[in-house]
Every structure is written in C-alpha cells, then in structure tokens.
C-alpha cells in the first residue's frame, strides 16, 4: 500500500475527540481536508460533534484494540484523551495514582502499540500525543498527573528514535492551562471547596502565563495540524510547548 500523496486527504483518529482540545483538533484537521474519526466514551457527546466516531475507553486494553481496528486505516493518530485529578502528594490514594497513569500514560502506550504497525507498513504516519506543561514542570497537588505526563514524553521520545527511518514522526504537544471543560470543572471544584469567586479561581490558573490568559483549544489544534503536515516531516521526538511563555521563565 502506497503512502498518501501530499495532496490527498489522510485519515486521522483522535481520542477524547468529543470536546475541548480533541474536538478542536478534529475540526482543524477536517477543515484542512483530512478524513477524521473521533473516539471517546460518551456516545451522545461524540454523536453531537457530527464526526464519525468509535466508542472507546483508552484505559481498557481490549477497547483500544477493538476501537483502532474499527477505525480502519489511520495515518494520523492524536492521543488526546486524558484526565487530571489533584491531591497532596503524600495523600494521593493508590486508586487515583493508578487512574492517572492509566488514562494519561498507559493509554498513549496502547494507542501507539495498536496504530503504529500499520503506518510502518505503509511508510508514512504521524503520532501526536497531547501532553501538558505538567510534562515539563511541577505543579502543587498534581503529583500523579505530572508523573504520568512526564512519562508520556519519555514514551514519545523513545518511539521517535526507534521509528525515525520509517516515515513516521512521533511528537508531543504540551499546552498550558487551556480553556476547556476540564478547566471549567476545576474552577467549579475550587469555588465549591474554597468559596473563592470564579474570577479569582481563574486568576490562579493564568497567573503564571505571561500573556495572562488561558490557551485556546484552537491554538493547540493549529500545532497538531502542522505536525501532521509534510512540512513537519523532520520534526520528531519534540515537545511543542503552547503556554504563553510560562515555561520560559
């Protein structure tokens, strides 16, 4: 099977594609002419997106195997599904630890394991993991999440080196705090626990961003579109940081 020509649409598969960053990436890739399938656990949300979808739980090995198989040919895989839970480091329950590793790190392993062999056979592919600035720095009360996201970068770099001569690139995007339902839920949680106003809770998330605002999902999606392009063919094993300059300080 020949690699897709630069002018032909490629087939993209995006986990966690029903909302937030995943949905923004789906829309960006679709607007560029790519054929997009999204995956997630909430069928109603996936159907509402208007994209073809596969129900898939990235923490369940058999679900990933079945979901990737159901999607058919995949040229561009965006491992976006993730979750963030918070707790003091020494009060982090084993259940939370295991869940953060499963949904953020083991999922990236499973998705790569199932999708990359067929890309290798065709001689072209893109694997893009949505990581986080928590892959690069520490935040208080996010030990399990940060450990998982740091692990994602190690996995991405190892894959990139092993597949460098196959026509496949493997990269990560590391957004700072982004204007998604995940942040909305976090703000609601802070307000409920501390009686802080929503404005003050939001300020806590943007205080380290020199631009003084949340990253937009569309900004992350633009980076994903570039990494999926032929123009990024030599970009491999990288962490593309989108954080307004937070990690530069």
Q: Which residues are catalytic?
A: 145
Closest CA relative to residue 236, chosen from 126, 81, 117, 146: 126
Task: Give the 3-state secondary structure of residue 127.
Answer: strand
Q: Measured between alpha carbons, how far is 56 from 54 in angstroms, rounded to an integer?
A: 6
Beta bridge partner(s), residue 38: 14, 53
Residue 57 in tokens? 């739980």
Q: Measured between alpha carbons, how far is 15 from 107 in angstroms, rounded to an integer?
A: 10
Start-end of H helices in 81-216: 94-101, 107-122, 143-162, 181-194, 198-206
């Amino acid at each position: 099977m020949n690699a897709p020509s630069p002018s032909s649409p490629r087939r993209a598969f995006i986990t966690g594609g029903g909302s937030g960053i995943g949905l923004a990436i789906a829309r960006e890739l679709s607007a560029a002419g790519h054929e997009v399938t999204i995956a997630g656990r909430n069928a109603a949300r996936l159907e509402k997106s208007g994209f073809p979808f596969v129900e898939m739980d990235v923490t369940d090995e058999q679900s990933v195997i079945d979901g990737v198989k159901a999607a058919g040919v995949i040229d561009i895989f965006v491992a976006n599904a993730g979750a963030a839970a918070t707790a003091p480091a020494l009060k982090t329950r084993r259940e939370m630890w295991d869940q953060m590793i499963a949904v953020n790190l083991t999922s990236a392993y499973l998705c790569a394991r199932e999708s990359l062999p067929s890309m290798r056979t065709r001689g072209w592919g893109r694997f893009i993991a949505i990581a986080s600035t928590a892959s690069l720095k520490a935040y208080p009360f996010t030990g399990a999440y940060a450990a998982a996201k740091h692990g994602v970068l190690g996995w991405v770099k190892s894959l990139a080196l092993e597949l460098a001569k196959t026509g496949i690139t493997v990269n990560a995007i590391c957004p700072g705090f982004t204007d998604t339902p995940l942040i909305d839920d976090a703000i609601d949680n802070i307000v409920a626990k501390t009686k802080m106003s929503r404005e003050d809770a939001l300020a806590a998330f943007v205080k380290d961003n020199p631009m003084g605002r949340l990253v937009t999902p569309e900004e992350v999606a633009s980076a994903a579109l570039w990494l999926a392009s032929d123009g990024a063919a030599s970009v491999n094993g990288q962490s593309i940081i989108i954080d307004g300059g937070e990690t530069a300080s």
